[in-house]
Structure 1
């Protein structure tokens, strides 16, 4: 008769069991991320890649509106604005003047932008030759970057599948899971590599979909975490959590106040020399009380802003939107070095009443600005475009290879994978508590991750019940 003596589990044994259970949990979660969230990540990767590759294509497509070959003296902004207004008036239209982006250099046309109901975040830009005052056409432009129709369509596809607020959930879901899928995949690769390290020098593994999938993930994991983090900063639900945290920690991006206080002196700002300079510049000019958005004021406001340090080649001038409101002049050049200073200008007093300079932004606000611009492929010009496109193409290939792996193994899909709930319960108590707390924290801060995790668990329960039957 054989007897068995009780052997207490050693610390090494418990550690191995915990590692094995954690690997099973991550493997199952990685599988669900790839299977269910993968399509959303794939769409985001493809549309994002197309977006960063198309600025030069867009310039070729809309060359007639963007460029001119005129030689001579650049006309006053007031004349350019009036030319755009006359163009629309000739068609019986009088939309509200929204902003002006003066020509950023020789050969570039000025954009005179108008707002009208139904355009949402877009505005209607009339392109004016700053030399001849000829109207070169009109297009819808979008956002601070001023993207034209081609890239606006790609941007909407990338952001919300052109489904509005409802569609924004798709991109937030992708960004919420992307970083965890990437880091979890690295951990699984490292664990598998450690187990087979002894045989690695003896057996030359053939190139396979699984091996390529793993290698691509290792090469681009930093980029995937970057995409996820920067994408979440402007998402709907997680973005709101990020903004709450930034507000609590004082990391809010500064902004210039457009509210005017007519009788208040400038606090802490010596504008005497500047005011004297502008008075001399406009000596003898009749300055009647203007209406809001009076074209005659654009040159004066631009001169005040330039004298006050707004020196980027690409700027945007916005007239007041109501009484006691200042004019806004802001830099819109998102390339390196970043120039995104903003000033509020009171043309009556010929003074800058408020400003927000990028140099004074908190570090976190700067990092977010740089991260978003790098994500869009505009921070470092063509080099940034190539790098982001390379990451996007690699991510696309990795997802496709993941589906190839799944398709080849589909007859036995799930046969070797413990359900999430079972893998979770196999964890040692300390790990189980840590994973549970982490899941709750992530679910609260990334709401779409939390909801989809519950759906993953529901799928597991349904499959388990079907298997028992």
Structure 2
């Protein structure tokens, strides 16, 4: 009877494959970079997703009223707001409402350059109070989500984090793929684990596999709004006739105009900036860079039509609750109505002449290019608005799941890394060709230039550091 040879306590585990270790190394670098940003994005995104429920709780005395008969007209409320506004303040925006419990909101630009929302009881006209637009809680949450409250550098960092999340997801799925081929749907379940990191690893794998599709949708639907790549993407899709409608300032319209021949009343080769330059809190992605046309002047013999008629005209064209009206700031400026509702098909942008009442331009969802239509749906889903509370809960679950993914990755790293060392997975002694992966990363780097540059820098620094330290390749325990 043969006696089995006892295993030496010093025996090392089977080495991880070279391809797996290469993927793990890139997964490590991507995860280490995006980890803090994912936590910020998850918390702020979840809060912002529930804005409709949170804001009335924060400002009940300003946003909610008790219905008392018939509401006053928008023009009457505007005059009351102007009378109550600080000296030198200029009314810039009105928000259309149809909820009988909602207050009336007007935004004023103050002499200091800041903006302030003034709230009135739509039934009595009484002033309920005011809020600083810049200091409003949800405004700060949004700025933290998009730019870490530090402006352009923060916007670029968040954009980079989004791009590197794509690398993290792709490499994570590639390492998990053999398990899926081996076990099928059981690959989504946690396996029995041992050791200091085994349980954490199983939680991490389960979360990553379950959230991958949702995370990809989150990243891809958010990137069109980014400061660098998003603007380039808009320009490319516009040039290819796939994105936003052509500018009114170019001398044409994309939608039929049914209220008179507006072209005879103004020189529409001139324009008053873009929609993004107007004092509007939300503008559809497709129309953000469209030019704002000019209207007729008072010398044409028309008296100003007033806000009441503007709201009536906008309502007749399908603009309703939640739409914002940018008030004319100069004699030849138009009323611009911007609708950014939950259903992308209801997005609407109207420019109304303040003297003749003619619709200078009417942009509908049907006027968008195919890319802009897709971005509109992606944005509505990303913000948790498209299918109500269920959409909000789904977005919150994905966001908080991503935060848990970042936390479990951090715990795994802390438990594995040596003291006074980064603890990056070692590079294989004979790196595999992995031509498909190199080609894929090259394509990603070309599509997202910021990520391409940083990937190249990480690759160079990684090789230089290891070469300088003389780090040998060795098996790494996962």
Category of TM-score, reference length = shorter chain: 0.7 to 0.9
Measured in 1, the distance between the counterparts of 2:465 and 2:56 equals 52
Q: 1:374, 1:179 → 2: CA distance?
A: 19
Deviation readout 1:79-135 (Å, 9 max, x if unpaired):
1011111112xx4x2222211113332121111111246667xx4211111110001
* Alignment of 1:404 onto 2:411: yes
Using the alignment, how far apart are the partners of 2:383 and 2:70 within structure 1? Answer: 35
CA–CA separation in structure 2 for the residues paired with 1:415 and 1:137: 55
Match 1:51 to one of 48, 56, 78: 48
Given candidates 457, 462, 466, the residue that maps to 1:463 is 466
| 1:255/1:342 contact within 8 Å kept | no
C-alpha distance 390-435 of structure 1, shift in aligned 2 (>3 A): closer
Match of 1:319 among 314, 327, 345: 327
Per the alignment, residue 158 of structure 2 pairs with 171
Q: What residue is the counterpart of 1:180 in the other structure?
A: 167
2:306–2:354 CA contact under 8 A, matched in 1: yes
Q: 1:255 to 1:313 in 2, by over 3 A?
A: farther
CA deviations 1:215-263 (Å, max 9, x no partner) are 111111111101111221111222133223312321222377489x9xx
Per-residue deviation, 1:345: 1.2
- In structure 2, runs of 5+ residues without a counterpart are 1-15, 261-296, 473-478
Name the counterpart of 1:427: 432
Following superposition, the deviation at residue 196 of structure 1 comes to 8.3
2:313 is the counterpart of 1:304: yes
> What secondary structure, in the 3-state scheme, does the structure 1 residue paired with 2:355 have?
coil
Provide the aligned C-alpha RMSD in A: 3.5
Aligned equivalent of 1:126, options 118, 122, 131: 118
- What is residue 140 of structure 1 aligned with on the other side? 132
Distance between the aligned counterparts of 1:82 and 1:163, measured in 2? Answer: 37
Residue 346 of structure 1 corresponds to: 353
Residues 117 and 468 of structure 1: is their aligned pair in 2 closer, same or farther, counting only changes over 3 Å?
farther
Say whether the 8 Å CA contact 2:147–2:154 is kept in structure 1: yes
Moved over 6 A (4+): 264-267, 412-416
Alignment of 1:194-209 (within 5 A): 194=181, 205-206=192-193, 208-209=199-200
Counterpart of 2:73 in structure 1 is 76
Cross-structure match for 1:7: none
- Say which SS state the counterpart of residue 351 (structure 2) adopts: strand
2:96 aligned partner: 102
Structure 2 CA distance for partners of 1:236 and 1:397, relative to 1, 3 Å: same
Look up the match of 2:377.
370
Residue 230 of structure 1, aligned match among 209, 221, 238: 221
Shift, 1:435, TM fit? 4.5
CA contact (8 A) 2:119 2:130 kept: yes
Number of equivalences: 411
**1:44 touches 1:174 (CA, 8 Å); kept in 2?**
no
Q: 2:447 aligns with which of 445, 448, 451?
A: 445
Kept after mapping to 2: 8 A contact 1:113/1:125: yes
Check the 8 A contact 2:237/2:243 in 1, yes or no. Answer: yes
Q: Map residues 198-347 of structure 1 onto 2, 5 A cutoff.
A: 205-206=192-193, 208-254=199-245, 257=248, 269-271=257-259, 289=298, 297-307=306-316, 309-332=317-340, 334-336=341-343, 338-347=345-354
The 1:271/1:47 distance shift into structure 2, 3 A limit, reads: closer
Partner SS state of residue 470, structure 2: helix
SS at match of 2:154: helix
TM-score for both structures, normalised by structure 2 = 0.76
Unaligned 5+ runs, structure 1 = 1-18, 143-147, 273-287
- Report if aligned partners of 2:352, 2:360 keep a CA contact under 8 Å in 1: yes
